[in-house]
Structure formats: structure tokens, C-alpha cells
Amino acid sequence: MDLAISEATWLQSLGPHSHELLEQVGDVATECAKRADEHDRTGTFPAKDFDDLAAAGLNAATVPREHGGLGLGPLNGDTLTLWLMTKELAKADLSLGRCWEGHTNSLVLLQALASEQQQERWFDGVARRGQKWVAWSGEPQARKPGEGTRFGTSITAVEGGWVLDGTKAFATSATGADWALLLVNTAGPGGARHADAPPEGLLLLACDLSDPTVTVDESWWDPIGMRATASHVVEFGQTFLPEENLIGTPGAYLHQGWQSAFTPHYAASFLGAAEGAFDYALEYLARQNKTADPYVQQRAGSMKVNIETSHLWLAHVAQLWDSGQRAGAQRAGNSARHLVEHLALETVDHCVRACGARSLVRPSPVERILRDLTFYARHDNDDHVLATIGRAALGETHDSSFFKP
Ligand SMILES: Cc1cc2nc3c(=O)[nH]c(=O)nc-3n(C[C@H](O)[C@H](O)[C@H](O)COP(=O)(O)OP(=O)(O)OC[C@H]3O[C@@H](n4cnc5c(N)ncnc54)[C@H](O)[C@@H]3O)c2cc1C
């Protein structure tokens, strides 16, 4: 893809090491793209993709260098390289992008909040043994029509730790991850996103998923898209979580606004999906000899501008994180999340309108991208994201983490 304006800005801000890493990720992503259709059809966690990332030395992307990682991400002064890596993987397979985000974001949280001893223990597992992480909050409380299951966990303090009972839904990488960061609430079911309790009740606990009291119910996850994220319901049956697995002080996740480091990371994945559709459209339209059509030209123009705009926003937010302007980064990150969702969805729509119906017949990747992106964009409600941006602009009280009304 020719990105004249963009190359002069975001790519040139990266050092040679970042370019090398992105090339390596591109090679791995090429192989992941070949497996995406199969993973989607079978709803299977992309385990081989993670193996390949580990074999290429890329899986510990957000682990600090002193712990054997690549030292990328918002806490290490190199945010854009991480987000562009994510974009490449999401372009190959948006489900992989989500699992990858969950993994790398969890490691950012460990770096931010875990003790030195905890970091040593868990980063070693990632850097040396390819262990995979994820963070689970999802405990939606309002039932949908016909829904029998009530999601949610209850946690009880016991000697030496806590006992967790109940279920979490949308548990990405449920059949692939080794460790999960559980966001659980001492006030009762709701996790972080669906709870109204005081922040101090929110605990962040690392859970070893090989514990036999943690089981995966694979019957619930049958969504329109993002099938390969394997975001199943996970059940905790009196799971003991030792006190040495408590990360940070209770409430730190909300008090310090850590979710806002991950909000623009979702946008990087949305952008990957858009770029996948754009690349496909360019090939498709050239093949069909339709490039002289003025409507096609306008749609191609819009797609290109959308993708460039999204890159510029991500580069802007990344630069704010890297220069320590955290409050500005948090605000701009929400704006980027809002805008890139729309630009990405519009780009996929342009692709479909320019290419026609056959672009939505399998094995076209656009068919999968459309389903995946439509569904993944629900990960946070854009109406509430935008209202949060508005509330901040108006000086109103707002929740910039979970965009609660
Ligand atoms: C592909 C995918 C992967 C995910 N992976 C993870 C993961 O790894 N870890 C994790 O923790 N979560 C994950 N999530 C879950 C996500 O964080 C939410 O928990 C989930 O999307 C909530 O489901 P819902 O939108 O049906 O429910 P709800 O939360 O009930 O939302 C339904 C709608 O109602 C709105 N709403 C909610 N409360 C109110 C209210 N009080 N008043 C008015 N409107 C309201 C919401 O904004 C939304 O538009 C994932 C989601 C998706 C789509």
C-alpha cells in the first residue's frame, strides 16, 4: 500500500529496531493469515500463531528488557511499535489481534502494578516458556431475553488468600491462556465494567489456569464473529487464589486509570481489520479492471484517507504516552478509540460496496473481517465513549475507564 503522507510521519518516527521487529511480525502474520479461516470456522484459539510468535522471539513484546522481553508499550517509551505489531496481527486475523492485545495488555499491568518478585516470576514464564496471559473482567449483569445463566463471581477472604466462586463470560483465550488476571469485586458480581461498588473493592488476582477448579464451558460462545478468540464462559468452583497472587493495592486499577492504556490498543486492532479490507479491495479492483470507475476511485480515496487518519491518531496518542503526558494520552486515547472504530467500519463498507457481493463469499477474508469487526466494535459502547469525551469537554464528572453513563 502506498502511504506517502504517512511514511513521512509515523513510520519515520520509529527507529531501525522497530522497523526490524515490524518486518518480523509481518512474516509471522503472513503465516497466521493462512490459518485464520480455519480458526474462524472451528472457533479455535490460534495456538500455532502464538507458538510462531514465541519462536520468533516476539511474544514477550511488553515484558521489560531487564526481564528478557522486547520492552515495548506505554510503560517503556515505545508504544507505537507495539500498536503497529498489533495492527499487523489483527490484519491477518482480528481474533488473533484480540488475543494478542489481551496477552500484551496483561503484561503491561504486571509491569505497572506487580511487585518486583511477582514480575520476576511471571515475566520469566513468558520470556522463557512462552506462557500466555489474558485479563478477564466480563461479568455482564443484565440478562438478555431468554438468557438463563447469570454471570458473576463472588470472592471470600480466607486464611492465606481468597476463594472465588462463579462465572465470567467473554473470557478471551479461555482455551489457550496459561494465566489470567482476574478483575473481581469484593462487593459481589460485576467485575470492573459492570460494578457500581467503590473502586477499593476491585482486586486484581493472577490465576493459574491449570488449576482443576477452573473449567471452561464451551457451549455459550457461538457469536457472529471473533470466533477464534475462544471467549468462553469460565467457571470458578471454589478456586483458591493465594495472597501472593494479589497484584497492586485494591482499587489501583481504577484509581490509576489503567484501562485507558488499552483503549487505543483496541483501535490498533480495528485499524488492522480496515487495512486488511483495503489491501484486498486494491487487489480485487485491479483484477477486475475497475480502477477507472469514478465511484470506485472515490471509495478507494476514502479508504486511504481513513487509514492514514487512523495511523496519525495512533501515532499522536503513542507519542503522548511516550513523552509522559499521561492525562493527555488518556483523553486522546478515548478520542482515537471512538474515531478509529468509525473509520474502520466505513473502510470495510467502502470495500464491500466497491468490490461487490463476491467479496463476501468465502474464502474472501472480507467476509470474516466484516463479521469480526462488527462484533469487536461492541467491546465498549461507542455511544458511551463519545459521551465520555463530551462530559470531559463540558467539565462534567466522567468515568474514562469503562465509559459508564
Ligand atoms: C470479542 C470480544 C472479546 C472480549 N474479551 C474480553 C476479555 O478478554 N476480557 C474481558 O474482561 N472482557 C472481554 N469482553 C467483554 C466486554 O468487556 C463486555 O463485558 C461485554 O461486551 C459485555 O457484553 P454486552 O455488550 O452484551 O453487555 P452489556 O454490558 O450489558 O452491554 C449492553 C449494552 O448496554 C449498555 N449498557 C450497559 N450498562 C448500561 C446502563 N447501566 N445503562 C445504559 N446502558 C448500559 C452497554 O454500553 C452496551 O451498549 C470482550 C468482548 C468482545 C465482544
42, 48 in Cβ contact below 8 A? no
Same fold, 4-132 and 152-253: no
Q: Nearest to residue 136, comparing CAs of 159, 164, 96?
A: 164
- Ligand 1 centroid – CA 375 distance (Å): 11
Domain 152-253 superfamily per CATH: Butyryl-CoA Dehydrogenase, subunit A, domain 2 (2.40.110.10)
Domain ranges of the chain: 4-132, 152-253, 254-393
Q: What is the pLDDT of residue 211?
A: 98
263, 313 in Cβ contact below 8 A? no
- Ligand 1 centroid – CA 138 distance (Å): 7
Residue type, 260: S
- Ligand 1 centroid – CA 57 distance (Å): 33
**Atom of ligand 1 at shortest range from CA of 192:** 11
188, 152 in Cβ contact below 8 A? yes
**228, three cell numbers:** 477464534
Tell me which of 136, 231, 386 to substitute to probe ligand 1's pocket, judged by most ligand atoms within 8 Å of the beta carbon: 231
Helix (H/G/I), strand (E/B), else coil: 303: helix
Q: Nearest to residue 142, comparing CAs of 106, 212, 189?
A: 189
pLDDT tens for the chain, 405 residues long, are 554 455 557 777 899 999 999 999 999 999 999 999 999 999 999 999 999 999 999 999 999 999 999 999 999 999 999 999 999 999 999 999 999 999 999 999 999 999 999 999 999 999 999 999 999 999 999 999 998 878 999 999 999 999 999 999 999 999 999 999 999 999 999 988 888 888 999 999 999 999 999 999 999 999 999 999 999 999 999 999 999 999 999 999 999 999 999 999 999 999 999 999 999 999 999 999 999 999 999 999 999 999 999 999 999 999 999 999 999 999 999 999 999 999 999 999 999 999 999 999 999 999 999 999 999 999 999 999 999 999 999 999 998 888 887
Residues with CB under 6 A from ligand 1: 98, 102, 134-138, 140, 142, 170, 172, 193-194, 226, 229, 231, 375-376, 378-379, 381, 384, 405
E strand map for 120-225: 133-136, 152-158, 161-171, 179-185, 202-208, 214-217
Q: Nearest to residue 339, comparing CAs of 271, 391, 394?
A: 271
User: How many C-beta atoms lie closer than 10 Å to residue 344's C-beta?
Assistant: 28
User: How many C-beta atoms lie closer than 10 Å to residue 158's C-beta?
Assistant: 12
Q: What is the pLDDT of residue 197?
A: 85
Q: What is the pLDDT of residue 399?
A: 87
Domain 4-132 superfamily per CATH: Acyl-CoA dehydrogenase/oxidase, N-terminal domain (1.10.540.10)
132, 173 in Cβ contact below 8 A? yes
**325, three cell numbers:** 503526558
253, 109 in Cβ contact below 8 A? yes
Q: Which fold has domain 254-393?
A: Butyryl-CoA Dehydrogenase, subunit A; domain 3 (1.20.140)
- Ligand 1 centroid – CA 55 distance (Å): 34
User: How many C-beta atoms lie closer than 10 Å to residue 242's C-beta?
Assistant: 12
Using the 8-state DSSP alphabet, how is residue 353 labeled?
A: H
Nearest CA to ligand 1 atom 46: 381
Nearest CA to ligand 1 atom 18: 138
Helix (H/G/I), strand (E/B), else coil: 164: strand
- Please give the torsion angle defined by the CA atoms of residues 166, 168, 173 and 176, in that order, rounded to the nearest 10 degrees: 10
- Ligand 1 centroid – CA 139 distance (Å): 8
Q: What is the pLDDT of residue 7?
A: 56
Nearest CA to ligand 1 atom 1: 376
- Ligand 1 centroid – CA 172 distance (Å): 13
Nearest CA to ligand 1 atom 19: 138
Nearest CA to ligand 1 atom 31: 140
- Ligand 1 centroid – CA 314 distance (Å): 23
E strand map for 246-334: none
Nearest CA to ligand 1 atom 47: 381
